[in-house]
Amino acid sequence: MDRMPSMYLSRLEVRNFRQFENFLIEFNRDLNLLVGENNAGKSSVIDAIRIALDTTSAEWVSITDTDFLSGKNELQIKLQFVDLSICESGIFLEHLTTEENADQIDEPRLYITLTAKLTRNFSKKTQYIKTEIHSGKIGDGPIIERDIRDYLATTYLKPLRDAEAELKAGRSSRLSQILGSSSSLAGDNVATKRIIELLTAASNQIQADLSIQAAQESIATLLNSLTFKSNVFSPALSLLGSKAYNDMNEAEKTFALKSILEKLTLELDGTGIKHGLGYSSLLFMATELMLIKQEEDQYPLLLVEEPEAHLHPQLQLKFIKYLREDNSDLQCILSTHSTVLASKAPLQSLILMQNGKAFPLRETHTALAPDDYVFLEKFLDSTKANMFFAKGVLLVEGVAEVVLLPQIAELLDRPLEDYGVSLVSVNGLSRKRYAKIYRSNSNSTTSSPLPIKVACVTDLDLWPDEAEKVAANPHGFKVKKQPNSETGTGGNLRYWLNELDQAAIDSQIATKKAHDGELVKTFISSDWTFEFCLAKYGLAEEIYLALHGTNKGFDDLSTNNQIRAVQLYGMIESKGNAKSEISYVLASIISKYSGQPELLRSKLPSYIIDAIEYVTEPLPLLQTATNTDINQND
């Protein structure tokens, strides 16, 4: 049965809880994916919510002394709920606070504030934790009653959960709790009566079995031989009590049903074959989701830590697809390290966690426009989603950069993985869209810059005179095309350096840096392209070797660095689709500089060095001056 749209948790404020001194996070009403590196605070966010609201499972949740920020003896967790229905407003009537929303309309809001204090009992010389939960915007409202907390209790799936154990028979098993909910078997009086009567009848039949009776008589004989003559017992073996259903009171009926349900185990099928942890985990999640959908007197909030645990990528895709498409009435807050989930969840549902702070990627918090979200969700795959778990990001546009920059960084003693840097390959203008993910919304009063350094590495894309293909220039391979004489459009003059004045060049550079700011910075090639710069500034012989497999003929090239770079880049361009293979070969060749970072550095254009330093850390000063190129980033 579909439930009516419910209120949702819109805001969490935390003070002095674990690594959070003063922490704020805002949630979407549907899906929220907390992503980021380890120890960023993802689990602490989920724990703060479940501690304040409690959970639907029998697991005990409470504040411990390790939950207090180091050196503090008081903590606070405050939750804000908005969009309350008329029914919900009635449930929480005495706890509501009326405030203006974004449209300047008064609306009721519910605040739940948990305050905990480390308190010393001087008479017993012990320390205990005093906890209070109140409503009100500043936590000065009435105490939150138990029935209110029961309504707000969340469904929580912990990481590396033992799904099989959760679904097995046992006292107070999670399965018995789910089936025993008011929206399941326990809420159906007819079904309850039928089930109890079935087991009562079966119990009576078993009791009547000759083997059971013989066992009972043997036990009775032994027992009575150990007791006084005045105490005679008649032990009985039964599955359930001996009372008929109609003779039971309500408490006895409830206990009887509970006893039956605690004997049930949920399995994937009836074969008895043991299945993998992944499918058992899915089965457990399915039962929990079923319960949430059925419960009308329960606030529908699902907290999941690492849903990818035990699920291979395709099952992760099925899980996130279900949450995206089939649960518009369910608010989900998930923490994950899965690039698969991060790439397939709506971009606006992602909340990046860094250094104990939260950075939502929804439209009101980033510089992304609506069409940027559409584009990025279409092309954001699991490889690119690495950028959401990084301390730094290198955005590059070509295969050569993808292959060579990690190798160069390694040889410069700045391996990207040691600094948590993700390298993301994007195409042309889409680089700007990816960069805008890391820029905060200038119109927002609550959003703040992401503490992630982003280096955008791009080409200058202006062709030198020496590349023009004319009779007097044997090494040229680019044809200069004039615009249409009538319309003035077309042609390629805007790409030629000698056709542009300095103002036009500066304008092109400014366009490439249009989205720089905060911690996003663009590094533009000193000359034409990445490969052209490598050839011009010191790796010409290595590139020739990668092209031809031998150094024979290299000395026949021009001794002029600019012209020789044009010659080599022309050879690279002539390879067409094989250009990527040349990059892999070149990466292997330059490995000879291992242990010689200063020598390799002397052969690199400065913009490459600057980009690597920006996302890792500065390199030591060179002992001698090496490269005299003028970096157009300055």
Q: Are 390 and 452 spatial neighbours (Cβ–Cβ below 8 Å)? A: yes
User: In the 8-state DSSP scheme, what is residue 454?
Assistant: E
Closest CA to 195 of 208, 212, 213, 176: 176
pLDDT of 171 above 90: no
Band of residue 400 on the pLDDT scale cut at 50, 70, 90:
very high
Q: Cβ distance 275 to 268 under 8 Å?
A: yes
Task: Using the predicted structure, report yes or no on whether residue 546 has a pLDDT greater than 90.
Answer: yes
| C-alpha distance from residue 94 to each of 100, 114, 259 (Å) | 18, 17, 38
Reference 327, options 311, 304, 355, 356; nearest CA is: 304
Please report the pLDDT score of residue 5 as a whole number. 55
Give the integer Cα–Cα distance in Å for 127 and 262: 38
Q: What percent of the chain has pLDDT over 90?
A: 45
Distances (CA, A) of 395 to 429, 431, 433: 12, 7, 11
pLDDT confidence band for 1 (50 / 70 / 90): very low
Beta bridge partners, 8, equal 82
Between CA 272 and CA 264 the distance in angstroms is 14
CA dihedral (477, 483, 489, 495) in degrees, to 10, reads 40
Quote the pLDDT of residue 275. Answer: 52
- Cα separation, 409 vs 455, in Å, equals 14
Q: Is the pLDDT of residue 130 over 80?
A: yes
- Report pLDDT digits (tens) over 467-519: 999 998 999 999 999 998 888 788 899 999 999 999 999 999 999 999 999 99
Question: What's the mean pLDDT in 425-446?
Answer: 82
pLDDT at residue 161 in the model: 56
* pLDDT tens column, 214-232: 887 888 888 777 776 767 7
Angle at Cα 45 formed by Cα 39 and Cα 50, nearest 5°? 130
pLDDT band at 166; cut points 50, 70, 90: low
Residue type for position 479: V
Task: Give the pLDDT score at 424.
Answer: 92
What average pLDDT does the chain have?
84
Q: Look at residue 631 and tell me whether its pLDDT is greater than 60.
A: no
Looking at the DSSP bridge assignments, the partners of residue 99 are 107
Q: What CA–CA distances, in Å, run from 44 to 34, 299, 617?
A: 11, 21, 30
Q: Are 131 and 114 in contact (CB under 8 A)?
A: yes
With H, G, I as helix, E, B as strand and everything else as coil, classify residue 244: coil
Higher pLDDT, 42 or 231: 42
Q: What is the CATH architecture of 8-162+298-340?
A: 3-Layer(aba) Sandwich (3.40)
Q: How confident is the model over 272-317, as pLDDT tens digits?
A: 555 556 566 666 677 767 667 666 667 788 898 888 877 778 888 8
Beta bridge partners, 425, equal 396
* Cα distance from N-terminal residue to C-terminal residue, the chain: 63
* pLDDT of amino acid 174: 66
Please give the pLDDT value at position 432. Answer: 87
Q: Where do the domains of the chain lie?
A: 8-162+298-340, 177-261, 367-461+501-529+594-634
Least confident of 353-357, 394-398, 549-553, 606-610: 353-357
CB atoms within 10 A of CB 288: 20
Strand, coil or helix: 357: strand
Residue 4, pLDDT above cutoff 60: no
pLDDT > 50? residue 377: yes
Highest mean pLDDT among 262-266, 280-284, 438-442, 499-503: 499-503
Q: Residue 545 belongs to what H/E stretch?
A: helix 540-548
- pLDDT at site 252: 77
pLDDT band (50, 70, 90) for residue 421 = very high
Instruction: Yes or no: say if 7 and 81 are a contact pair by the CB < 8 Å rule.
Output: yes
pTM, rounded to two decimals: 0.79
d(CA 502, CA 515) in angstroms, rounded, equals 21
